[in-house]
Amino acid sequence: MMANKSIIFFDGVCNLCNASIDFVIRRDKKDHFLVGALQDDFSRKILSGFEVREDYLDSLVLLENGKIYYKSSAALRIANKLSGLWPVLYPIILLPKSLRDPIYNWIGKNRYRWFGKKNTCRLPTPEEKSKFLSEETLRQTGLSLDS
């Protein structure tokens, strides 16, 4: 599995999800993350090696150290590696998922209605290209998907 990099998979047509990815990219000063749309064939290929439904779009998915995290667990693990004060949120992970995830689920169910969606997945700008998951970025970083 990829050393020193985590992959954030997100709903590529969701406006809230795209804004969240922009937020993460701006605050990922130590280059912890690659990002990829859940709808992307390459992302699906990677996730096929894990127990993730192929049509899963309900939450961001974090692949970290060979393990999959969803919903608030994924969001808090991501926040813990961002610059600024975001890591102070990480102790919330000590609360049971049954307390953390209902809020996440409520936002997730309403995200298209509240924030809208695009007709196609977001494409990275030239400056962001190195942060987006692709066979090329894996080669450039010297990372491997092999165990």
Residue 2: what pLDDT?
47
In the structure, what pLDDT confidence band is assigned to residue 51 with cuts at 50, 70 and 90?
confident
Could you tell me what percent of the chain has a pLDDT over 70?
A: 90
Q: Residue 68's beta-bridge partner residues?
A: 63
Cα of first residue to Cα of last residue in the chain, in angstroms, is 5
Tell whether the torsion through CA atoms of 48, 25, 132 and 33 is positive or negative. negative
Locate 23 and state its tokens: 């937020």
> Could you tell me if 14 and 115 are in contact, meaning their C-beta atoms sit under 8 angstroms apart?
yes
> What pLDDT, in 10s, does the model give residues 61-109?
999 998 999 999 999 999 999 999 999 999 999 999 999 999 889 988 8
pLDDT at 1 over 50: no
Residue 81: what pLDDT?
96
Residue 96 identity (one-letter amino acid): P
Model pTM? 0.86
> Could you tell me if 28 and 4 are in contact, meaning their C-beta atoms sit under 8 angstroms apart?
no
Nearest to 27 by CA among 104, 99, 70, 85: 85
Q: What is the mean pLDDT of the chain?
A: 86
